[in-house]
Structure formats: C-alpha cells, structure tokens
Amino acid sequence: MLYIRVELWPFGDKSRATLLGEGRIGNVGLSATPPTSISGPLYNYHATFSQPDDGRAYVRWPEVQVTIQDFPRERYSAFDLLLWALQHAQRRLLHEAAVKKTRELEEQEEWKKRRKKERTNG
C-alpha cells in the first residue's frame, strides 16, 4: 500500500506542519486483462483521498474513492500510479459536481413550472 501525506510547512518549518490531505493506494490484484509484451502484467488498485475535518481547509472536498484498472506497474513508477489515481479522483469529483448542478437546475425548472401553474390556476 502507498500512503500519501500532504502537509503545508510554513517557511519550510516542519515543526509547524499542517495536514492538508491524505491518500492511500492499495493493490487489489491482477487485472483480468491479459498482459502484452509491452505492458507486462496489469494490476488493479483502489485509492482513497481525504482531508482532515478540522475546518481549516481553504477548499473543502469530500472523501473520494476510485479504482485504477489495468495499471502496468512494471513499466511505471509509484509516482505514475499516484498521478493516475489523482486524475481518476479529479474526474470523479468533477463528474459528481456536474451531476449535482444538473439536479439543481432541474429542480429550479420544476419549481418555476409549479409556480407558473399556481399563478395561472390561482
């Protein structure tokens, strides 16, 4: 398992470190996708990224969990795996934000329709 800890060190002073976030990336096994001569064996991973709930974060985002499938770990480094996991997490957060906004807009439209109907019937 990879454990990632993101800290802010004001002016490089480790003794004043503030935790900004944490991540965990764990291997969940070989992929069902057959390996190729280029990729070698492919592995699947589960990643979780979170922030401390201390109210000090400038930007608050929810814990996010993602699955990385078919990662060719014999060709890439742990930093590449971290990058893949962060990209998956970012896409998940953006998708969830878009879905939420779409729901909000749909609810607003429904409210407008009900309001208009009440005005014409009332």
Pairing of strands 64-71, 18-30: unpaired
* pLDDT computed for residue 25 by the predictor: 98
pLDDT in tens, 60-93: 778 899 999 999 998 999 999 999 999 999 988 8
* pLDDT computed for residue 95 by the predictor: 83
pLDDT in tens, 10-39: 999 999 998 989 999 999 999 988 888 887
Question: Which DSSP category does 53 fall into?
Answer: -
Q: Of 4-8, 103-107, 110-114, where does the model show the most confidence? A: 4-8
Lowest mean pLDDT: which of 54-58, 85-89, 93-97?
A: 54-58
Token code pair at residue 92: 């998940």
* pLDDT computed for residue 38 by the predictor: 81
